[in-house]
Amino acid sequence: MTERHIHLLGACGTFMGGVAALAREAGLRVSGADRNVYPPMSTQLEALGIELVEGWDPAQLEPAPDEVVVGNVLSRGNPVVEALLESSIPWTSGPAWLAREILRDRWVIAAAGTHGKTTTASMIAWILEYAGLEPGFLIGGVPKDFPVSARLGRGPFFVIEADEYDSAFFDKRSKFVHYGPRTLVLNNLEYDHADIFPDLDAIKRQFHHLVRTVPGTGLILRPARDANLDEVMAMGCWTPQLTLGEGGSLRAEAVAEGGTAFDLIVEGQSAGRVTWGMRGGHNVANALAAVGATRHAGVAAEVAVEALSRFGGVRRRLESLGEVAGIQLYDDFAHHPTAIRGTLESLPAGRRVAVLEPRSNSMRLGAHARDLPQALEAAERVYLYVRPELEWDSTLLEGRLGDRLVVERDMPALLRRLGRELVAGDQVAIMSNGGFEGIHERLVTALRECHGVAERPDSA
């Protein structure tokens, strides 16, 4: 009997790459295609024995696989999509395949919200792992406590980062409506993804659809104070809710400056003190959600405190890149004004410097134009890199930030300027949801050259 063969279109995206890894671990033959097949995702997938091709040539469907899983980067008019629709090959979306093949018999713990999904999901998976429960997971980032971002696991629990982005060109529902969580974290809710959601109300409707999928014996965890989530719940909720933060059942007290330590209070009683390498009030909030979710899965809060005190974090979430000539560099995925502000406010003492690429679809469409200036107020100096092909009106930023703002359209020029102007004591947050043209390594080199430093910085 030949092994079942699935072919993934858009295989090198974070989510679809995780689906590919899970399918391979489940014993399937897996192949895939993407428009850009390059490391690190291509290397990771090929190491798993997953065959990859670049581009959308319909010939990749010959011989026919048993099923094609279509990623949401593809749309009608794409040559391989048109060939697929003309064929008799079964096809589905990534979230639907995941729900059918992986999640159906699992206790799904989902982390949703505009911000903090990756970090919260990583915390939940790590607490369960620390407790010996060997969870499965699919996380849209690289958790430092695991060698992979997706695995089947051995126990009943499966942790998933529940993204509100659409499922496929033929299914415009958010991915998370497919997952059927028993434990659901709703971290927060703001407007984002302007390329697919016309307004905030459209996102609230999708979150309400998610709430409707949680069973009555499940649990929804949410912050005690979030007006947008209040409106979602007012649309109808049939599941018990646990509130987090000030005024909630789980809260943090005696929070150290920068959020580097806090006491965990569960229903009025102390469960211990978390002392960790994470920073920021947003990560304290993520931790409360993770503790609440894992308590629902049977892990004592005291065990969760121990686990969080050993939590390694997530790559590209205020990840230290080391220090050059007394200048501390951080890499962060922040691309929404709230996340940008939270990242900047989380930086240690020193001159806060923002190096930002407005790359997300919402940024490029101007959805955050009015909120971005206020978010960047937390920085003493802001370097905005606007790619030459991107039309960007910086008038609002210039009006709010004045001479604190530098707008640069040439990467080499930006690197030269940073090399000259950054000084010892600066805390530099490099923020983008993309590769930022490799600025991280290039800036290290520029700083070494400008400041006469012979050695590379130590890795965090």
Are 127 and 176 contained in the same domain?
A: yes
Mean pLDDT of 70-92: 97
347 domain-assigned: yes
**Class of residue 281 by CB neighbours under 10 A (exposed 0-12, middle 13-18, buried 19+):** middle
136 pLDDT tier (thresholds 50, 70, 90) = very high
pTM (two decimals): 0.83
Instruction: Give pLDDT, residue 457.
Output: 47
Are 223 and 299 contained in the same domain?
A: yes
**Parent domain of 333:** 319-451
Are 77 and 185 contained in the same domain?
A: no
314 domain-assigned: no
Strand partners, 250: 244, 266
68 domain-assigned: yes
295 domain-assigned: yes
CATH number of the domain at 278, please. 3.40.1190.10
CATH number of the domain at 85, please. 3.40.50.720
459 domain-assigned: no
90's CB contacts (< 8 A; 6+ apart) are 66, 67, 68
Structurally, how many domains does the chain consist of? 3
Instruction: Give pLDDT, residue 459.
Output: 42
Are 206 and 241 contained in the same domain?
A: yes
Of 264, 282, 308, which residue sits at a domain end? 308
Instruction: Give pLDDT, residue 135.
Output: 98
Are 354 and 438 contained in the same domain?
A: yes
Q: Please give the mean pLDDT across all residues of the chain.
A: 88
Are 278 and 323 contained in the same domain?
A: no
Lowest average pLDDT, out of 69-78, 134-143, 297-306, 383-392, goes to 383-392
313 domain-assigned: no
Are 233 and 111 contained in the same domain?
A: yes
Strand partners, 266: 250, 269
Instruction: Give pLDDT, residue 66.
Output: 97
Are 189 and 64 contained in the same domain?
A: no
Residues 324, 127: Cα–Cα separation, whole Å: 34
Of 308, 329, 348, which residue sits at a domain end? 308
Residue closest to 317 by CA, chosen among 295, 346, 285, 352? 346
CATH number of the domain at 411, please. 3.90.190.20
Of 91, 123, 148, which residue sits at a domain end? 91
Highest-pLDDT range among 298-307, 364-373, 443-452 = 298-307
Give tens-digit pLDDT for 157-169.
999 999 999 999 9
Are 240 and 170 contained in the same domain?
A: yes
361 pLDDT tier (thresholds 50, 70, 90) = low
Are 84 and 134 contained in the same domain?
A: no
Are 137 and 271 contained in the same domain?
A: yes
Q: Strand ranges (DSSP E) for 312-417?
A: 319-324, 327-332, 351-356, 381-385, 405-408
97 domain-assigned: no
Are 248 and 294 contained in the same domain?
A: yes
Mean pLDDT of 158-181: 95
456 domain-assigned: no
